[in-house]
Structure 1
C-alpha cells in the first residue's frame, strides 16, 4: 500500500488544488460584495483588489465561467456571480426553510385539524415543499413536489402579493393564459385587473382565501412567510373540503397568518419579531 505521506499520494497532490480552490473562492467573494454584485467587475479591477496577477485572475474567471459559477457581460466584459451559485443558494435556502417550517406547520395542524402545506413559486406555478396532515387523516396522493397553476390557489396569489404593480401586470398575462384552460367554474380571477384587486385585498387582510376556485368542493387559505429582508419567500396553506372548513374560513385564515408571522420572525423578519400570536390573529 502506498504511503499517504509520499510525494505521489492523493493527500499531497490535493494540496495545490486546495490552494487553487481558495483563490477561486476569493474571486467569488469579491464578486459577491454588495457594492460589486449589481454591476460586476472587470479582470483588472479584481486583480487589483486581490493583489494578484491579471493573467492569473483571467484564467480563474474563465474556468469559473465554464462551470456556471461566474458570468461575463458581453457588452461591458465585466464579471458577476453565475447562475449555478444562485441555484445552490436557492436549494440551500429552501432546505433550511423546510426544516424550520415543519414545527410551525404541525402547530397549525393541531389548531385547525386540517392538512397544511409550505409552498413556493416556480414560474407561474406553485410548488409544495412540505405537507403535514393530522394523525387521523388518510394520505393518498401527496402534494409534496407537485406544482399547480398559481392563479387558481390562495398560495399563488399570496406569493406575488408584494410585487410592484408594473411587474405584476407584465407577468399576469402569461400567468392567466396558462391558467385559463384549466380554470375551475368558480374561478373569479380571469383578467389582470381581477388579479390586481385581489392582491390589494390580500395586502389589506394579510392572507388569501379561495372558495372552490382550485377545485369544486375545496376551500383554502394562505399567508405569506417573509425573510429578514421582508420579502415573501413562501406561503403557508391550509386546504380542506368546503363542508368542513368553509364555515370557519376566516378563522383559519387568521390562524394561518399568525403562524406564518411566527415563522417569519424566526427567519429574521423585523416587523414580525415584536408581534405576538394574539396580535397577528386579531389583524384584519
Structure 2
C-alpha cells in the first residue's frame, strides 16, 4: 500500500536530513582544506564563506571536532583539519602505493634477483607494507606488518632523511631502547645526522650487517606531488650475494623509486 502524502513527505524529510548534514560537513572540510597553510579559520569566517548561520556552523564544528575531523586552536579559537582526516588520507595513499609499487618492485627483483620491500613510517618506526621475492626467496624474516625503529634500517633512515636536526635527535633521545645488530653505525644522534647527510648527497641509504648478521641492504625514497617522502623502496640480501654490488643496487633502487614517485605527481627538478 502506498504511503500517504503526509507520511511520504515525512519520510523524504528524514531521509534527506542526513545527506544535507553530510553535505554541510563536507563543505566545511573542503573550506578548511583550501585554507591549509594559514593558521585556521574562525566560526564567523566559516559561516560567512559558506553562507550559513553562525550557530549552525558552531554546532557542526563541535561535532566534527569530537570525531577528530577538525581541531580547534586553544589560543586563537580557529579551526583547521584534524588528525583523522590526515589518517584517512595516509591510509588511502598507502593503499594506492601498494597497488602501484608491485610492478616496480618486481622489476627490481628481476634485475637484482633479491627481495624488495615497500616501507612506510609509523611514528618513529618503519612498517613494511609489501614484499616481493625472487624464486630463491631469501627472506631473513617475514617483514610484512613488522615494525622496527627507524634509525636501525636503511629504509628508516631514508624515511626520516627530510626531518630537521632537532626531530632526528629526538629519535635517539633514549638510545638504550634500540636493539642494534652486529655492526651498527648509528649509536648517537650525531651518528644519525651524519648518515642522513650522506643519504641526501647520494639519494639512497645503505647498510652493511647493521640490523642482521650477514645481511646488507639499500633503500631509496618515494616522494609525492609535494616532494614529501611517503615511502621507501628497500632491497635486502645476504652480503655474499649483494655486498659487492651495494652501490649499484642503491643507484638502481633510487632510479626505480623516482619512477614510482612520478606516478604520484612528483617532478624531480634537474640542477
| TM-score computed with the length of structure 2 as normaliser | 0.91
Residue of structure 1 equivalent to 2:50: 50
Q: Unpaired segments of 5 or more residues in structure 1?
A: 276-284
1:110-189 equivalences under 5 Å are 110-137=110-137, 142-169=142-169, 171-174=170-173, 176-179=175-178, 182-189=179-186
Residue of structure 1 equivalent to 2:18: 17
User: How far apart are the structure 2 equivalents of 1:269 and 1:192?
Assistant: 30
Q: Kindly report the root-mean-square deviation, in angstroms, between the aligned alpha carbons of the 2 structures.
A: 2.4
Post-superposition CA distance 1:90-113 (Å, at most 9, x none): 111111111111110011011111
**Which of 182, 185, 193 in structure 2 is aligned with 1:196?**
193
Q: Could you tell which deviates more after superposition, 6-15 or 230-239?
A: 6-15
1:31-42 equivalences under 5 Å are 31-34=32-35, 36=36, 38-42=38-42
Deviation of the 1:11 alpha carbon: 6.9
Alignment length, in residue pairs? 269
Deviation of the 1:140 alpha carbon: 8.3
Q: Cα gap change, 1:240/1:9 in structure 2, threshold over 3 Å: closer, same or farther? A: farther
Deviation of the 1:14 alpha carbon: 2.0
Deviation of the 1:175 alpha carbon: 6.5
1:208 and 1:253 in contact (8 A); partners too: yes
1:119 and 1:237 in contact (8 A); partners too: yes
2:115 and 2:138 in contact (8 A); partners too: no
1:187 and 1:214 in contact (8 A); partners too: yes
1:224 and 1:236 in contact (8 A); partners too: yes
Residue of structure 2 equivalent to 1:214: 211
Residue of structure 2 equivalent to 1:78: 78
Indicate the SS of the match to 1:271. coil
- Deviating 4+ runs (over 4 angstroms): 8-12, 138-141
Instruction: Establish whether residue 100 from structure 1 lines up as the match of residue 97 from structure 2.
Output: no
Residue of structure 1 equivalent to 2:232: 235
1:115 and 1:133 in contact (8 A); partners too: yes
Q: Cα gap change, 1:117/1:2 in structure 2, threshold over 3 Å: closer, same or farther? A: farther
Residue of structure 1 equivalent to 2:28: 27
Q: Cα gap change, 1:11/1:209 in structure 2, threshold over 3 Å: closer, same or farther? A: farther
Post-superposition CA distance 1:208-248 (Å, at most 9, x none): 11110001111111111111111111110010111111122
Deviation of the 1:176 alpha carbon: 3.5
User: How far apart are the structure 1 equivalents of 2:252 and 2:268?
Assistant: 18
Deviation of the 1:2 alpha carbon: 7.7
User: How far apart are the structure 2 equivalents of 1:159 and 1:94?
Assistant: 14
Q: Unpaired segments of 5 or more residues in structure 2?
A: none
User: How far apart are the structure 1 equivalents of 2:15 and 2:143?
Assistant: 44
